[in-house]
Amino acid sequence: MKKRCVDVKIQLAHKTEHLLFNYLTFDFFRRSEYGNVLVLGNPPILTLLILAPYVLSMELLYFKRRRFFARIDKHIAAVMVLTSREDTFYVSSLAVAPEYRRLGIATCMLRFAQGEAQRHGKKWLKLSVLKANRPALKAYYEFGFILDRERKRGVWLHKPIPMTQGATTSAGYRKS
């Protein structure tokens, strides 16, 4: 049964939750259908050896970026990073816990990202995804993303954001 977005509470991760965010991103991807490719198999020792450097490197990479949790009741069901650049919001590390997949939670996260883009006067929502991640590609195309460019193992997708009245520019000024 699909979750309604009102059942999914999307919240900005507090600074005290950043390491938890990084760990969950790693864990959700590791437990996905494509996780074995991402971490070279699934031996526990190898996973542990990769985990600490991954969590710390993500902290450096995401230092100034906005990280979000999607919660259902008290459980973290998904994570996402939004990065603002000029006229675009970039979605990255959108990951849904395996036990919450195919419930529409990624779509709720994308709706939230689109709303944030509109609120900040952005023209585009962009993301990249592995070609092998067919469920994610299907969800992104159904949400209205369009192929931007293709790489060897992945694709970049974009979606135009309709401007709403009362949106602000990236400098914080209201659009007229």
- Tens digits of residue pLDDT in 44-89: 665 666 666 666 666 666 666 788 989 998 888 999 999 999 999 9
Predicted pLDDT at 118: 95
Q: pLDDT tier at 19 (50, 70, 90 boundaries)? A: confident
Q: Contact at 8 Å (CB) between 106 and 136? A: yes
Q: Is there a domain that residue 169 lies in?
A: no
- Per the domain annotation, does 170 fall within a domain? no
Model confidence at 128, pLDDT cuts 50, 70, 90, reads very high
Any domain includes 175: no
What is the reported pTM?
0.76
Percent of the chain with pLDDT over 70: 72
Residue 24 within any structural domain of the chain: yes
Is position 171 within any domain?
no
Alpha carbon 80 to chain centroid distance? 3
- 173 against 130, higher pLDDT: 130
Give the structural domain span for 144.
Answer: 5-160
User: Strand (E) positions, the chain?
Assistant: 9-12, 66-72, 75-85, 88-96, 124-130, 146-150, 154-160
In a domain, residue 143? The reply is yes
How far is the C-alpha of 62 from the C-alpha of 60, rounded, in Å?
6
Residue tagged 């998904």 (tokens)? 78
Tokens of 102: 């195919």
Q: What is the CATH number of the domain that holds 32?
A: 3.40.630.30
- Residue 117 has a pLDDT of 96
pLDDT tops 60 at residue 37: no
Our count of domains for the chain comes to 1
75: which 2 tokens? Answer: 């459980």
pLDDT band at 20 (very low <50, low <70, confident <90, very high): confident
Tell whether 172 is covered by a domain: no
Residues 71, 137: Cα–Cα separation, whole Å: 23
- pLDDT of residue 156 exceeding 90: yes
Residue 173 domain-assigned?
no
